[in-house]
Structure 1
C-alpha cells in the first residue's frame, strides 16, 4: 500500500471497533480501496441509503485498481408491497456472494435496506440452482417441474428474465444473471446443445459449454412447500386464511404477487446477508446509519400497519427484517469501523468542480497548489480533453493507475477515466481530483487536423377484433380453427360476419386478410357475406385513392427533378468511427445505418424517416450520417424541438466526434450575445461542421456555407411554420427524420412508399419494459411510487403541466416525501436557471424533478426510472410514449404512474390510455402511432375527403390501395381498380395437409404470426431463414409444416411469371394464366419442348402430369418446372 496515501485504521478483532473520518463520498471510496488492499478479507460498506451506495460503488474502481468492486442494489419493492422482486436481483445476490467467498481482497458496497432483509437460506438457493452441461441427463418434463419450482414462469415466447418455454425437446429459459435467454436442446433425454439466443428474433447466438440457472424466486414453489405454508398459515392466522384465495393460488402453482412477504413460512429458519459474509469480513458502518436505521424501521412498521386487514396474510416486521436491536447485535459480532463525523475528514475535502470547460482551462493555466488528476467519464472524452489541453499548452499525462499517480511524484496534471461526481482534495500528498466538464470549451469547437419496416399487420390480433377480407369485407376475427375440407386436414382463419355467417379462410390464403384500422374497434362496420356493400365501398375508395396518389407524387416529382448530391463517403473512416460506439449494435440499427449511408451515396435527395422506440439507438444512426457528411466536407444541421434536447445532443455529438476533425456548435436560447454572433459567423464561413439547434436554426440570419444534411429529431413537435420550412429544406438537401411516434400523416406516407422508412424495433440488451399503471390521484399511491424509486437509489420525474401552480404542486410533493430533494423545471424559467436545475438533476443533486413536458423529447438520464404523470388523460399517445421513454433507459425496470381524473376523462382519452397500456412492451412506439391513426381518424392523414373511405375499408387496405396506385402512376399507367383491390399473391391449392400443427407450435398467436410471415416472404432467402428459425425455435419440422414452406417456395418462383394460381391434383398440376406481359411465349414454348417434362400448354393454362397422389413429389416436379420457366424468361 502506498505509504503516502491515507491509511485507515483496521481493527484486529470485533472488540477493537474503530472509527474512520467522514470525508466526501469520493474520499470514502479512496479509504475503502486502501483498506481492501491491506485487509485479509472483504471490506463491506453498509451505506445509509441506496443513492449513496450507488455513487460510492461507481467511484470505487477509480481507486481500487485490481481489487474487485462488488455491489448489491436496494430492494425494488417497498415493505409489504404486493409486487414481485425481479429475478435479476436474486441472481445478482447469489453471484456476488459466490464471488465474495472466492476473493482474498474485495470491496462490497450495499445499502442498509438490503442488509436488513431476511433471506432464504443459502443452502436452499444453491440447491435450487440448476447447472447443465453437454451430455447431462435432462428430461424436459422434469426440467419444467424444476424451473417452475424455482420461480420461472412458463410463457409462449421468452422475452424477460424469469421466463421459460418448453417445446418438445427444446427448453428456452431466461436466467436473471444473463443478458440474453438461453436455449437447451435435448435428444432422448440428454442435453445435446446449449446456447444463447436473441429474445426478439428468437434466433440462436453463441454456443455455451455449461449453463447455471439460478432460481427466479427465493421460495420453493412446490406442492410440498405450499402444504407447509398452508399449515403454518393455519397455525398463525387460523384455518380461514389457510383455505383462502391467497393460499389456494400458491397450491395451484401460481405464486401470488408479493409472496416474498411470507418468506419465513417456507423455511424453518431464514438468514440475512450477515450469515453469508465470511468471518474475515470488515464492516464499514456509514455515517448517519443510526438515523437511517431508525427511519427505515419506522417506515416498515407504518407499512405493516397499513397492510394489516387486507386479503393477504401479514407477518410481523421482525419476521421479515432485522430489527434495530438485532442489527446492532449482528454488527457487534463482527470486526467493524464506524464512519464518524466527529473524527474530521482525514485530510480529504470536497472541492467545487469548475463550472465549465473555460473555467477549468483557466485554472490549469495558473500554477496550482496541488497536482491535479482530471477524471473523464470515457476514454473518448479523455482523449478529447488531452488534445484540448495540449492546444492550451497544458501538458496532461494519461493515467491508467490512479493510485500510482496519487502516491508518486510525477506529472503536474494527469487525466484518467472513471466516475467522479464532485471534486476531491488531499492534504498529504497535495493532490486534487476534478471531474472534467461534459463538453469542450466554446473556443475549441475543434480544429481541422491533417489527414424497412412494415406495419403491424395481424400481429397481436385477438378474437373479436375487426379484420378485413379483400373479397368479403369487414368481419370479426374468431380464431384459428383446424378441420377437414375435401378430406384434407387444414387450419383456417375463422371470421364472423353479419347474420351469424362465418367465413373460413385457409392459412395458405392469409394474404387476403388485413387488420382493420380506421375507427374505434366497436364502431367498425360489419359486412354481410354475399352483399354488394363491400364491393361498392372498395370501388369508392379506389376512385379517390387515384387522385390522392397523383397529388402526392406531384410533390415528390418536384423534389426529384432537382436531383441530389451523391456524397463521397469514406467507408474506412466511417468504420473507424463506428468502432467508437460503446454498445453492440442491434440488427435493426445496423440495417438503418446501412440504408441511410446508401441514400447519402446515391445521386438523389434523401428523405428518410427512422422510426424506433425511445432509447433504441436512433441517435447513433444520426451520428453515423452526420459523420459521413461532415468528413466529406459538407455541413450538417441537427434540428431538435427543445433547448434541453439541443444541449444534450450537442454534448453527445461533441463526445462522439472527439478526436475527429469535426467542429460542433450549439444554437439555442442558451447561447446569447457575442457567443451567438461568433457561432453564426463561423457557420456562414464554413468553420462549423455540425450545428445542433432548435427552431432558431430556421430563422432569418442563419446562413450555411454548404449545408448537405438536415437531421430532424421528433418532427411532430415543431409548429406549422417550422414544418413549412422543413418542406423547403427537403427540396434542397438530404433530410433524415427521426421519431419514436411519428405523426399519422408522416407514418402513413412512409408506409405507402412515398418516404423511405427504416424501423428500429429491437431494444438494447437487458432493457426491461416500463411497468405502467393508470390510477386516480391518491397521495399514498404517489408517495409509495416515489419512495420505491428513492429506496433503490434512483431519481424520479413528476410531471405537472401547469406552470401557473407548479411551485405549489412541488410543495405538495415535498410534503408527501420530505426526505427527497425536490427541484422544479419548466420552459418559462430564465435560461441560466433552467440549465442549472437540469445540470444539477443530471449530477444527482436533486432526487425528484417536478417539471412540465419540457423533458418530453430525448432527455436521457439513466438514473431516473420512475415517472408520475399528472392528468395523463390530457396527453396524446405520442406525448405519452415520449414521456414514458424518459425512464427505464438502463437495465433497471422503469415505472410509469399515470394519474387521471375519471370524472373529467373523455372517451377519446380513455381509448388513448387503453392503447398505451396495450403496447407496454418494448418497441411499442410504432404500434402506438398505428393506434393513433385508428383513434384520431384519417382526416388529419390525407384530408377529410378520404376519412370516410378509410373508415369503410380500414387503414391497412387503404394503404395498400394507395401504394398500388402510386406504383401504377410511377410506371406511367392508370391504376387498375380491380387489380389494385384484389389479391396480388399466387394462390396454391393442394390436396394434402399444409399447416403448422398445434402440437408443434402451441400458441395460437405465434402460429398466426408465422403464417403471416410465411405468406409475406418474397424470396428463397427469406423462406430459408424462416425454415432455420423454425428448426431453431421449435425443433425438426413436421411434414405438414415442411410442405407449407415448400408451397410458399412455389409462390415465390411463380410470382415473376405472373402466375395467379397453382392447383396440385392427383392426376395433374395446373398453372394459370401464362399470358401476362412479362411472359416470353417463344421462351416458354422452348422450355416445355422436352417430352420428359410431361407439360402441355393449352392457351394460357399449363398442365403438368402429376406423380399420382404423392403431393411432395408433385411439389418437386413443379419446382423443377418453375425453375426452367424462370431460366427461360431470364435467358
Structure 2
C-alpha cells in the first residue's frame, strides 16, 4: 500500500511550513513537540520528502522501532522512489554474550550501514530507523566498510583465487550451495555469493579470468530471477561487521586478556577462535571481537553524513532505556565472569549514555515526543502537535461512520479511509448516497470535499486540522472497527517442503532403500561419461559383499532414506541379485494387504453414508472472511476451499488439516464452523486442554461477535451451574458453537443437531475418547487439526484413506526459532529472560513437574529480580488458573512459570522466548509443540532446552534434543514426526505386529506398498510414467541443493509420478 499522495497536503499546512523553514535554517529551538504518536511516522516521511537528505530516526524500544520502520514504508514505499527506508536491527546477543548473530540480523544491519556509507554517491533521501540497543552497539568504522566493499562489473578482469581468499577475510564462508546470506560457492567457472547488502544472491559466470555475466537468483530454487537475468554491476560488501582479515590486529589487542576466571570449556572455545582469527577466517560468534578488531570501533552516528537530520521519537524514554540497558550490561558482565564464561577484563561492546548523549546533542535532534534527552517533560504541546489529533473510535458502528463522512463532506473536509473492509464499506457508503471507488494506493492528494477509500492496513489514523481548505481525516481499522494492525508480511520466506524435504534429506553414509534391490548405503553423486560424449550423473549405492549399484538421477524416486528400526538398530544390507529382498517384499505385501482391508473397512461407512450437504457461501460468510485481519497464505486458502467443497458434498467430511504451529489452522476451522451454523447446524470444537479451550472460545467469540451466533465453552473453567446451562443450550439448539475439552465427549452431552466436529490435536486424547470420536465420525462432518502428525496419522494421510490438506507456507514475516541445548545454568537463564523483557516481550519457563514449581518460581525471582512472575499448572483451582493465564496474555507479568499446560495451541504473540527445564524428560513431538508457543511474531524467537548437568543424557534423549535443534526451519512438523519415528523405530505405526515388516523394508516403501494395496482394493489403479531428462542434473541453474544432488533428483523424478511407478514391484528399467 502506498499513501504517499497525502504527503503534499502536509506541505501545504502553514504551521508545518513554518516548522520546516526553521529546520532548514537550523533556527528551531528543538524543544519536544509532544506530537500525537500515530502521526510521527508521517512527519518523518514528510521531512525526508521535503528536505531530500538523510534522516536518522531513533526510537527507544526495539518493537516500536520495527513498527515505525513498517509504518514509514507505507508513506515512503520502495516503488515510490521518494526515499529509501532501512532498519538497523538490534544485535541478537546481550552485551558481552558470546552468542552468534542470525543471518537476518547481519543482513539488516549491514544493509543499513551500507546505505549510509553510499550517501556520497548522490543517492536520494534515506531514512534509517534504529532502537536504543542498535545505537549502543559498536560496529566497524565507515572507512573499513568502504574498503571492504567493491563494485563488480560484467566484463572486468577477476583473479578468482585471490578474490575468494579476500571474501573469506570479509567473513564469508564456503558452502556447496548458497542458500543464506554470507555464503559463497564455487563450481568450476561459476561462483555464487550472497552479500548481506543485497536482497538476492549473485551468480557470477567467468570466461577465463573475465566476468562473463552477472545474474541474481532465488536461493530457494537456485534458479535465475527472470527480471534480473542480465545485471551489469553489483556491489559486494563484507559478510559481517567483524572482519576476520583484521584478526592479527585483534590478537595484539587481546594480549592482555585475563583468562583466569574462565572455566576450561569456555577457555578452549576462546583459544579455538583465536586460532581462526590468526588464520583470518570467519566463524560463528565473531561479532564478539568487534571491540578488538578495530582501534576505534564506530557507532551508527559515525555513519551519519554531514547535514543528516537526527529525529528522536521521545528523548526522555530514550535516555531512560539506554541507562537501563547500560546497567543490565554491567550485570551481565559480572554474571558471565562469575560463571566462568568471560575473561576478567573484556572490552565493552557498547557505548554508555555519557558517551552517546554528546553525539546526539551535537546533531541538535528534533524531539517528536514529550521529553528531552535530560529526561524533562515538555510543559505543553507545540503548535504543530495541536493540529494533529486522534480520530473518533466507531467500534464498527457503520451508520455513525457514514453519517460522519457525510458531515465532513458537507464541511469541505477531506476524508481518507484505510481498511481491509474496503469493498463492504464502499457498498454501505453507496447505499447512503456516497459513491466511492476502492483504491489500492493513494498516489495523489485528496481534493477538497473528497472521500477516498483505500484497501490496506495502517496502525492508527489521525485528524490534521488547519489546512488551507478544511481538515484531513485519516481513519484506519483501529478507528473504524477497533482492530489493530496485524504484523507486516514479507515476501520470499523459504519454507520446508514436506514430505519431500525429509525424504530427500540423504547424506553420504545414510542407509537407503531401493525398491528393486533393497537396503544399501548411499555413497554420493558421481559423473560418468556416455558414448555420445555427454556426462550423466548417478547416485552410488554400496550393498553387502562389496556389491555396488549406480542409479540414474532421474530414477531417484525409486530410492528413499531408510527409516524403521530405530537409530540404535542398524539395518542389514542386502546383496544385489539375491532372493532375500524379493522374499521380504512378498511377506510385507501380504501384511499390507491385510491391514489395507482393515483400514478401508474402518472408513467404508464414510464413503457410503449420506450426510448433510451444506449450502454454498452466503453474504455473511463473505463478510466474516473479509474481516480476517491478516493476509491468508496460498496453502491456507486451498485448505479452506477443500473444506468447503467437502462440506457441500453429501458424503460426511473427514479431513485432516496439517500445518505447523501458528500457520492459521484455527481460522480454517472457524470459517467451517460459521458455514455450518449458517445452515442451522451446531458445531463442537474439541481441544485437549482447558487453557486452549479458553483461548479458542475467546477467538471464536471475538470473530463472530458481529453475527447472531452463540458461542459457549464447556470445560472445568466453568462452574457446574454454567455447564448445565450450556448443556441445556446444546439440547434445545440455542448454543450454536461449543468449545471444550474431553468433557464434550461425556454421555450427558446431547446436541439438537450437530453438523460439524472439529478436533484439535486428536493424538492427545485417550483410547476411550478416540472411540467416541470414531462413533461421531460416521454421521457428522469431522475436521481434524494437527501441527505434528503422529506416525499413525501421517501414515493414514499418505495412503489416501483420509483427506489431507497441508498448510506449509508460514506467515512470511515469521522467523525460524533459534534453539539452544545447554546444561541448567542460572546465568544463561538470566540472560535469556533479560534479553526478552528488554525488547518488551514475555517468557515461558516450563518445568516438567507440579511438585516444586513454586520453589522454581521463587528461585527465578532471585535470579532475575527485574522481571515479574506468575505460576500456572493443571492442578490449580480452575478460576485461579484462568486468572493467571488471562493476566499473562494481557501482559500483566513478564514470565509464566508453568507445566506442559501451555503445550497445545496457546497463542501469545508477545511471548517469544521459552526455557524448557529438564527438556530430556519430554518426547520430541511434545518438545516441538512447546517450542511452537513462541515464534509467532515478526521478531527473532529463542528456545532453550536445558538438562541436568549432574546427569548424563541418554542417547535417545540427546537425539531428540538435537533433532529439535536441527528442525529449526519453518514448517518442520512433518520432519519432526518422521524423526521421532526414526528414533523410536516404526513399531507403533500400526501396532507391534507391523514392526518387523516396517523394519525390513523401511517406512517409505512400506507406505508405498500400503498405498498400492489400498488402490488395488478400491480398483482405482493409476498408470505410471517416466520423465526423460535431457540436461545434466548438475547444471548451474538447476535445482541443486547440495553436492550429492539427491534432493535435485528426487524432485525431478517426483514430477513424473507421485507414487513412483504404477507397481513398486516392477523390475528396474
Pick the TM interval, shorter chain: 0.7 to 0.9
Relative to structure 1, the CA distance from residue 174 to residue 791 in structure 2 (aligned partners, 3 Å threshold; closer, same or farther) is farther
Q: Distance in 1 between matches of 2:392 and 2:824?
A: 42
For residues 928-948 of structure 1, the C-alpha deviation after alignment (integer angstroms, 9 at most, x for no partner) is: 111222334445332222223
Structure 1: runs of 5 or more not aligned: 392-397, 403-407, 423-428, 442-451, 974-979, 1024-1050, 1063-1131
- Equivalent residue for 1:775? 822
Alpha-carbon distance, 1:746 to partner: 0.9
Instruction: Determine if contact 1:15/1:335 at 8 Å carries over to the other structure.
Output: no
Q: Alignment partner for residue 930 of structure 1, among 978, 987, 994?
A: 978
1:881-920 alignment runs, 5 A limit: 881-901=928-948, 903=951, 906-920=954-968
Q: Does 1:1011 align with 2:1011?
A: no
Q: Distance in 1 between matches of 2:127 and 2:1027?
A: 67
Alpha-carbon distance, 1:955 to partner: 2.5
Q: Alignment partner for residue 98 of structure 2, among 62, 72, 82?
A: 82
- Equivalent residue for 1:216? 239
Q: Distance in 2 between matches of 1:135 and 1:635?
A: 70
Q: Distance in 2 between matches of 1:566 and 1:95?
A: 60
Relative to structure 1, the CA distance from residue 581 to residue 538 in structure 2 (aligned partners, 3 Å threshold; closer, same or farther) is same
Q: Distance in 2 between matches of 1:143 and 1:739?
A: 49
- Equivalent residue for 2:800? 753
Instruction: Determine if contact 2:566/2:981 at 8 Å carries over to the other structure.
Output: no
- Equivalent residue for 2:282? 255
Q: Does 1:800 align with 2:847?
A: yes
Instruction: Determine if contact 2:967/2:975 at 8 Å carries over to the other structure.
Output: yes
Q: Alignment partner for residue 197 of structure 1, among 218, 224, 231?
A: 218
Relative to structure 1, the CA distance from residue 59 to residue 494 in structure 2 (aligned partners, 3 Å threshold; closer, same or farther) is closer
- Equivalent residue for 1:1036? none
Q: Distance in 2 between matches of 1:683 and 1:31?
A: 58
Alpha-carbon distance, 1:964 to partner: 2.5
- Equivalent residue for 1:870? 917
Instruction: Judge which range, 627-636 or 114-123, deviates more.
Output: 627-636
Q: Alignment partner for residue 325 of structure 2, among 296, 306, 315?
A: 296
Instruction: Determine if contact 2:687/2:759 at 8 Å carries over to the other structure.
Output: yes
Instruction: Determine if contact 1:180/1:199 at 8 Å carries over to the other structure.
Output: no
Instruction: Determine if contact 1:518/1:938 at 8 Å carries over to the other structure.
Output: yes
Q: Alignment partner for residue 131 of structure 2, among 111, 119, 122?
A: 111
Alpha-carbon distance, 1:831 to partner: 6.6
SS at match of 1:156: coil
Instruction: Determine if contact 2:712/2:735 at 8 Å carries over to the other structure.
Output: no
Instruction: Judge which range, 768-777 or 284-293, deviates more.
Output: 284-293
Q: Distance in 2 between matches of 1:388 and 1:818?
A: 54
Q: Distance in 1 between matches of 2:270 and 2:87?
A: 41
Relative to structure 1, the CA distance from residue 515 to residue 474 in structure 2 (aligned partners, 3 Å threshold; closer, same or farther) is same
Q: Does 1:502 align with 2:546?
A: yes
Q: Distance in 2 between matches of 1:549 and 1:941?
A: 14
Instruction: Determine if contact 1:510/1:1012 at 8 Å carries over to the other structure.
Output: yes
- Equivalent residue for 1:94? 113
Relative to structure 1, the CA distance from residue 131 to residue 935 in structure 2 (aligned partners, 3 Å threshold; closer, same or farther) is same
Q: Distance in 1 between matches of 2:236 and 2:709?
A: 48
Instruction: Determine if contact 2:251/2:277 at 8 Å carries over to the other structure.
Output: no
Alpha-carbon distance, 1:571 to partner: 11
Q: Alignment partner for residue 120 of structure 1, among 130, 140, 146?
A: 140
Q: Distance in 2 between matches of 1:153 and 1:763?
A: 28
Alpha-carbon distance, 1:555 to partner: 1.4
Highest CA radius of gyration, 1 or 2? Answer: 1
Instruction: Judge which range, 819-828 or 33-42, deviates more.
Output: 33-42
**What is the TM-score when the length of structure 2 is the normalising length?**
0.73
Aligned positions, number:
988
Q: Distance in 2 between matches of 1:747 and 1:829?
A: 35
For residues 908-951 of structure 1, the C-alpha deviation after alignment (integer angstroms, 9 at most, x for no partner) is: 43332233233233332101111222334445332222223333
Q: Distance in 1 between matches of 2:420 and 2:547?
A: 62
Q: Distance in 2 between matches of 1:142 and 1:714?
A: 56
Q: Distance in 2 between matches of 1:381 and 1:648?
A: 25
- Equivalent residue for 2:309? 281
1:564-603 alignment runs, 5 A limit: 564=611, 569=616, 592=639, 595-596=642-643, 599-600=646-647
Instruction: Determine if contact 1:154/1:165 at 8 Å carries over to the other structure.
Output: yes
Alpha-carbon distance, 1:590 to partner: 6.0
Instruction: Determine if contact 1:74/1:113 at 8 Å carries over to the other structure.
Output: yes
Instruction: Determine if contact 2:418/2:474 at 8 Å carries over to the other structure.
Output: no
- Equivalent residue for 1:947? 995
Q: Distance in 2 between matches of 1:206 and 1:585?
A: 27
Q: Does 1:379 align with 2:419?
A: yes
Q: Alignment partner for residue 272 of structure 1, among 299, 302, 315?
A: 299
Instruction: Determine if contact 2:730/2:752 at 8 Å carries over to the other structure.
Output: no
Instruction: Determine if contact 1:81/1:258 at 8 Å carries over to the other structure.
Output: no
If asked which structure has higher relative contact order (CA below 8 Å, sep 6+), I would say 2
Q: Distance in 2 between matches of 1:927 and 1:1057?
A: 24
SS at match of 2:547: strand
SS at match of 1:467: strand
Instruction: Judge which range, 611-620 or 73-82, deviates more.
Output: 611-620
Q: Distance in 2 between matches of 1:242 and 1:748?
A: 44
Relative to structure 1, the CA distance from residue 510 to residue 819 in structure 2 (aligned partners, 3 Å threshold; closer, same or farther) is same
- Equivalent residue for 1:514? 560
SS at match of 2:93: coil
- Equivalent residue for 1:666? 711
1:708-719 alignment runs, 5 A limit: 709-719=756-766
**What is the TM-score when the length of structure 1 is the normalising length?**
0.70
- Equivalent residue for 1:326? 355
Q: Distance in 2 between matches of 1:754 and 1:835?
A: 39
Q: Does 1:467 align with 2:515?
A: no
Structure 2: runs of 5 or more not aligned: 1-9, 260-266, 409-414, 432-437, 443-447, 463-470, 484-496
Instruction: Determine if contact 2:83/2:125 at 8 Å carries over to the other structure.
Output: yes
Alpha-carbon distance, 1:743 to partner: 1.9
Q: Does 1:157 align with 2:157?
A: no
SS at match of 2:801: coil
Instruction: Determine if contact 1:776/1:901 at 8 Å carries over to the other structure.
Output: yes
